[in-house]
């Protein structure tokens, strides 16, 4: 059997600060297995990857924000596609969240929760994604390194 070339996916890692200045990330549940993940989807022809991350965050988690131009990391994972599993390489883009929408496309299909970085890393069962979340504080852009970032109104679980 030859080498498997992974399919490409794009993910958004939504971040914000609590009113006290703590860093938090938003996780959502997958539709079928209810595992904790982040918004992600397939590349879109003619759309920049970071814009795909913004679209996925809006559709899957009801978030509006700006994705950073360069991915914060990537990981390999197996994804169930119909009756088989496919290897995917997921590029993860940091999403600076500015608004939580009151209604969104997949609202009834997923739960969303803002969690402290450490809690999110523990709940995510994809090891590569959990590692990116766990390492997030050391990889943040400069504007995120202090606790002065203005937060949106978060409901921390």
Q: Is residue 52 part of a domain?
A: yes
**The domain containing residue 52 runs over which residues?**
7-144
In tens digits, what is the pLDDT along the chain, a chain of 157 residues? 567 789 999 999 999 988 888 899 999 999 888 899 999 999 999 999 999 999 999 999 999 999 999 999 999 998 877 788 889 999 999 999 999 998 999 998 999 999 999 999 999 989 999 999 999 988 887 776 665 444 444 544 4
Token reading at 102: 């009151």
Q: Is residue 151 part of a domain?
A: no
Q: Is residue 157 part of a domain?
A: no
Domains in the chain: how many in total?
A: 1
Q: How many CB atoms lie within 10 A of CB 52?
A: 22
pLDDT, tens digit (0-9, with 9 covering 90-100), for 109-130: 999 999 999 999 999 989 999 9
Q: Is residue 34 part of a domain?
A: yes
Helices H / strands E in the chain, number of each:
4, 8
Q: Note the pLDDT of residue 76.
A: 94
Q: Is residue 128 part of a domain?
A: yes
CATH (domain of 41): 3.90.79.10
Q: Is residue 99 part of a domain?
A: yes
pTM across the whole model: 0.88
Q: Is residue 1 part of a domain?
A: no
């Amino acid at each position: 059997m030859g080498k498997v070339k992974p399919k490409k996916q794009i993910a958004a890692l939504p971040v914000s600060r609590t009113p006290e200045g703590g860093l938090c990330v938003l996780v959502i549940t997958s539709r079928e297995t209810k595992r904790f993940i982040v918004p992600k989807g397939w590349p879109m022809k003619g759309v920049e990857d970071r814009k795909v991350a913004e679209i996925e965050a809006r559709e899957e988690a009801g978030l509006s924000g700006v994705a950073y131009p360069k991915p914060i990391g990537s990981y390999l994972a197996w994804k169930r596609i119909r009756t088989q599993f496919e290897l995917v390489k997921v590029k993860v883009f940091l999403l600076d969240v500015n608004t939580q929408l009151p209604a969104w496309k997949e609202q009834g299909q997923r739960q969303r929760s803002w969690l402290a970085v450490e809690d999110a890393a523990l709940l995510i069962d994809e090891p590569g994604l959990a590692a990116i979340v766990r390492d997030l504080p050391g990889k943040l852009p400069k504007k995120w390194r202090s606790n002065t970032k203005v937060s949106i109104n978060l409901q921390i679980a």
